[in-house]
Structure formats: C-alpha cells, structure tokens
Structure 1
Amino acid sequence: MKLFEKLFRPRPPIRGREALADFIDAQSAFIVQKGIYEYSRARAGHYAKVLFAEAGFKHSVELARWQAFPLGLSMVGEMVNGVLTSQADGMQRREILDQLIIVVLSVFDRYPVPPSIGEEAWRAARSDLAHRLDLAGGHAPKRVMDIPDPLAETYFAMMPIHEKLRGRDFQTTRNYLRVCLCNIHDELIARMDKTALERALTAGAAA
C-alpha cells in the first residue's frame, strides 16, 4: 500500500522560487538525458548493453549530458516564461523574465564545473544560456512545440554516436524534444499556483 501511495501521490505544487528552480532543474535534465540515452540505445540495437559498458562511450555520454544540460535549461526556461507572461503587460513581462533568468542561472550554478567540459567552456555555456533567455523577451511567447526548434540541431550534434551512424534521425530527435517539452508544459500547468509564483518572482524584483 505504501508503494502504491508513493507512486500515485500528487506532486507538490509550485508556488515559490525554490520550487520553480527544482522543477526547472529536474525537467531540463530529464528532457536532454532521456533523449541521449534512448537515441543511443536505438542506434546500438542489440549491442546497447555492450556499448554502454565501454569506458570510452561512458565518457562520451557524460560529455553529451553536460553539454546538453544548458540547452534543456534554455528550452524549459523559455517555456516557463511563456506561461507566466502570456497575459502580462510589457513592463511586467520584462520584470518576470529578469527574475526567471536569475532562477534558471541559479540552477546552472548548483553544479560544479564538469571535468568533461572544463571551466572555460562551462562559463561560455552559462553566458550563452543567459543570452538565449534574454532574447525571449524580445518577441511574443512562442508555441511550446516551436521552442526547441532553434536548438534541436545543436542538440542532435551532441549525440554520442558517430555522425556517420546517425542516419536521417534529426527530424525524429526534434519531434522528441517538441513532444517532451509539451508534456513538461502540461505538468507545469497542473502543478503551479500562477498567482503565487508571479508574486514570488516580482517580490524578488522589488527586493
């Protein structure tokens, strides 16, 4: 009974900055890592267990995971921004986005520099992430399914499978990102207290 209750227990609501940061962290890691592992297993076929046991491939997966994490943060962050600012006026949209950028970057800063990436590249990834999120304030919120499009090719190039073996799988990977982000969007809508969340973010701006 306890296992059943644990599996079907409602996830906690998202009302404040820390809860939002935890959501962004978990979902950003999920969207990029699930794609990397599932794509690699699909391409390896019956040899997946052998491939995943090889030290060289493990290193490639680790590199891909950390390279892709800022892309996940960018996609999930932009999606959250669209949800929170869809009915806000211009000044409030900018205020919420500025605070959301702080939240997303705080998630990035939870993690030490990955040895597979290196400090210089990790700093550059943080700067690129901040820039991409800032650009979201320059246009109307996109449809959720369109948010991954500018990053899908970059993400696909990070797959730990030799490019000659990838075939024509880009469209499949892009569609995976689209569907996954739409599912993350639905979970956010189901769990968030929008009024409380907006209040928490704008309170941060006032402070």
Structure 2
Amino acid sequence: MALLDIFRRRPAVRDRDELADFIDRNAAFLIQKAIYEYSRARAGHYSKVLFKEPSFHAAVEVSRWRAYPLGLLMVTEVVYAVLCREGAHPAQDEFDGLESLVLSVFDRYPVPQALGPAEWEALRADLAQRLKQIALHPPKRAMDIPEPYAKPYFDLMPIHEKLRGRDLETTRNYLMVTLCNIHDELTKASGGLSFPALATAV
C-alpha cells in the first residue's frame, strides 16, 4: 500500500454491490494479514528464507483459502451489528438477503487449486450453515465476534503446531482490534444501507 493511500477516503457502502465489495475486501484483509505477519514473527531472522520457499507458499495458499470463510463470517457479523444499529431485528427475508449476498461473494472465486472441488464445496456448505446461525442471536459487539472463530483460525496458520507457541490470545486480540476498525469504517460509510434494501435486491 502506498503511503498516500492512508489519507484516501474509503469508498461509500450504499447498496448491495458496494456491500459485497466491502465484505470481500475486509474478509480477505482480516485473514491474510495475520497469516503473513504471524508467519514472519514466528520465523524471526529466517523469515526471508521461509517466504522464498515454494512449500511455504503452498501452505499459505491452503491456509488462506480454508480461512477465508471464517473471515466472511466475522465480517458478516459486523455487518449484521451495523445494520441492526437502530434496534430493529430483520425479518427472515431481509436476513436471507444478507446471507445470499455473502454466498455470492464466496462464489466470486473459482475452486482454489490448493484445495480442490470437494473441499471447496464443503467449505461453502459450512459457511451457508453458519450464516443462518447469525440471525439466531442478538448483534454482538465487534470485540466479542472473534470468540468462536479465533481458535479455528489460529489452527489454520501455516506454521507447524509445535512451533506456534502460546499465541492464540495474540491472534484473538488482533481479530478484536481489526473487527472494531471494520465496524467503525462501515458505520461511517453505510448511510442509508438497510436490511430491506438487501431483501428487495435478491
């Protein structure tokens, strides 16, 4: 990212397509940033060597695609909380609009070579099931969203489990801070966006 990008305004999130882009962009960022930074931290002085290894790149590909649905779920929980900001619980068809939107984001991507069709389809099915569960509870604070996701995400890091150390809490804190930032960004960018708007767009 160029230095001047820090000062550029984030795009508005006013309709279904812009929300899809927001979810995709932030889910990918949430997942990939920690994978690379954690790997670099654990490798220490050997990180430059590690990052040149084809086997490491292959492991990263597996990790990031397996973790991407978790990123989608966490960012969707943020969207759910922001769209419920006025205390109105969405009707089922309204939440279905958000669910179908998130699945359409997943479907933007062809089957990753690192996984294969069977695993990719299984990840989609699991994502669809977990999305339905979001509407079964009140919106969460952004800082509480990572609780059920942090351990599964940490377990997908492309570092051997014997070398990971006791870093689960660090990963959880990273997810908390990043999701709070995503919540703030969407709150500022999403004027006029609502659950009914998503439902009527399906």
- The alignment's TM-score, normalised by the length of structure 1, stands at 0.91
* Structure 2: unaligned runs, 5 residues or longer: none
Shift of 1:199: 4.5
- CA RMSD between the two structures: 1.8
Number of matched pairs: 201
CA contact (8 A) 1:113 1:119 kept: yes
What are the residue-to-residue correspondences of 1:74-89 with 2, within 5 Å? Answer: 74-89=73-88
Alpha-carbon distance change, 7 to 83 in structure 1, aligned in 2, over 3 angstroms:
closer
Aligned runs of 1:110-189 on 2, under 5 Å?
A: 110-189=108-187
Measure the CA separation in 1 of the matches of 2:58 and 2:138: 39
Verify the 8 A CA contact 2:95 2:199 in the aligned structure 1.
Answer: no
Q: Are 1:69 and 2:75 matched, yes or no?
A: no
Distance in 1 (alpha carbons) for counterparts of 2:4 and 2:175: 30
- CA gap of 1:6–1:181, structure 2 versus 1, over 3 A, is closer
In structure 2, how many angstroms separate the alpha carbons of the residues matched to 1:176 and 1:60?
Answer: 21
Structure 1 residues 171 and 12 mapped into 2: Cα distance closer, same or farther (>3 Å)? same
CA distance in 2, matches of 1:111, 1:52: 25
Structure 1: runs of 5+ lacking an equivalent: none
Of Structure 1 and Structure 2, the greater helix share is in 1
AA in 2 matched with 1:203: T
Q: Which residue of 1 aligns with 2:200?
A: 203
Name the CA distance, whole Å, in 1 between partners of 2:111 and 2:196: 32
Tell me which residue corresponds to 1:30: 29
Which stretch shifts more, 96-105 or 51-60? Answer: 96-105
1:173-200: per-residue Cα shift (whole Å, max 9, x none)? Answer: 111111111111111111112x344452
Q: Give SS of 1:138's match.
A: coil
Identical pairs, percent: 55
Q: Is the 8 A contact 2:98 2:199 kept in 1?
A: no
1:202 partner amino acid: A
Tell me the SS of whatever aligns to 2:157.
coil
